[in-house]
Amino acid sequence: MDTPTKRKRPDLEIRDHRLSQRVQRFPESVIREMTRVAEAHGAINLSQGFPDFDPPREVVRAAQLALENGHNQYSTTWGAPELREAVARRAKAFNGIDADPEANLVVTCGSTEAMMAAMLSLVNPGDEVVVFEPFYENYGPDAVMSGAVPRYVRMAWPDWRIDEEALKAAFSRKTKAVIVNTPNNPTGKVYSRDELRLLADLCADHDAVAVTDEIYEHIVYDGRRHVSLATLGDMAERTITINGLSKTYSATGWRVGWAIAPRTLADAMRRIHDFLTVGAPHPLQIGAAAALALPESYYADLARMYRAKRDRFVRGLRSVGLDCREPDGAYYVMADISRFPFADDWAFAMYLVERLGVATVPGSSFFGVPEDGARYVRFMFSKRDETLEEALRRLEPLKDVR
């Protein structure tokens, strides 16, 4: 077998004495880096989570019309009124969340900015933030940039169960917030109502805020239902619910996201957002309002489409010897690669991208201690059927790797 390029984990240090300590404490995003590596090798990109198909036509058309019809200057900094109204309507209809567009909504440059704005609004240096692990890569640097000390709670392979005692033990007098992501990236876990209830109790007991990233809310399988933490008990008072256009409407490049929060928290996030970015792209906010007005059938079709992709893709991964559990939601699969003769996740991922032409994300990117994730790589399947078929065909040589 060929030996792939020995690729080290990213180096944290940039040797330049002028830099802040903060920026020396996290690497460049591995997810985004793997997209570039995929392009350099002409590989199929199953690393960064974005589709190779377009948003619905009428949504694109609405954005085009907005460009032609004078929406080319700043919107209100915290969001165009038509988008805030559309988000509030949808949050009520789908999630059961009451949001006043004037008081509770902040439109941001993607949910990425919403999460950062939430952290910067809540956290003083040294405050603790509970984070479930494996976690979406961004939450690590978000913690560093806001000065938060992450307290990790492990979701256990293979079903990503949460140990109740470990969760309770992670909360303390220093806990300021907990970050939840359901449906979960990278595990595919969909938090159960009981798990969310426990979290709600812990937040109440510790006066902690829940920051919940629900960007995959419509991508759930096998009859499961997405539950928004903000709808449990009085959690609306202590929950920031983050969402966006990217995944539900296949528009990751538009960078339109939002947060729903209690008035005081929304006010704080609006300040941070205003001085970070001023606003999300105005014409695309108008397009986003059109997306949120799509009929219910759109969401059923989306879930059905991803369900078929999941079934076929997971079957394919298993047939080449990759050990993985079907995700209950979102469009990622964590595969255990420990039966293959590679030094770690990076060696495996580099072999896949260089020799087989398929890009993945090394599992260590989703763990506080990178070694803890060295037996996984993450695949994502938000791709056309023919792209996924071709990727599976390229992975076939794995059958003979031992």
Point out which residues bind ligand GLN (CB under 6 A): 31-32, 48-49, 112, 136, 185
Least gap, CB of 384 to ligand GLN (angstroms): 17
* Closer Cβ to ligand GLN, 31 or 284, answer by number: 31
Least gap, CB of 1 to ligand GLN (angstroms): 28
3-state secondary structure of 141: helix
* Closer Cβ to ligand GLN, 49 or 316, answer by number: 49
Residue facing ligand GLN at closest CB distance: 49
* Closer Cβ to ligand GLN, 136 or 171, answer by number: 136
Least gap, CB of 172 to ligand GLN (angstroms): 29
Least gap, CB of 180 to ligand GLN (angstroms): 15
Least gap, CB of 161 to ligand GLN (angstroms): 22
* Closer Cβ to ligand GLN, 95 or 185, answer by number: 185
Q: To which H or E segment does residue 12 belong?
A: none
Beta-sheet strands, E only, within 127-208: 128-133, 149-156, 161-162, 175-181
CB neighbour list of residue 331: distance below 8 Å, 6 or more residues apart: 49, 216, 219, 247, 306, 309, 310, 380, 381, 382
* Closer Cβ to ligand GLN, 49 or 55, answer by number: 49
* Closer Cβ to ligand GLN, 331 or 348, answer by number: 331
In whole angstroms, what is the distance from residue 201 CA to residue 68 CA? 50
* CB hemisphere CA count around 92 (13 angstroms): 11
Q: How is residue 50 annotated by DSSP?
A: -
In whole angstroms, how far apart are CA 67 and each of 81, 85, 285?
A: 17, 20, 11
Cβ atoms of 131 and 179 closer than 8 Å:
yes
Neighbours of 226 (CB within 10 A): 17
Least gap, CB of 15 to ligand GLN (angstroms): 27
In whole angstroms, what is the distance from residue 1 CA to residue 135 CA? 33
* Closer Cβ to ligand GLN, 112 or 243, answer by number: 112
Going by their DSSP bridges, the two strands 376-380 and 332-336 should be labelled as antiparallel
Amino acid at 359: A
Least gap, CB of 141 to ligand GLN (angstroms): 12
In whole angstroms, what is the distance from residue 57 CA to residue 294 CA? 11
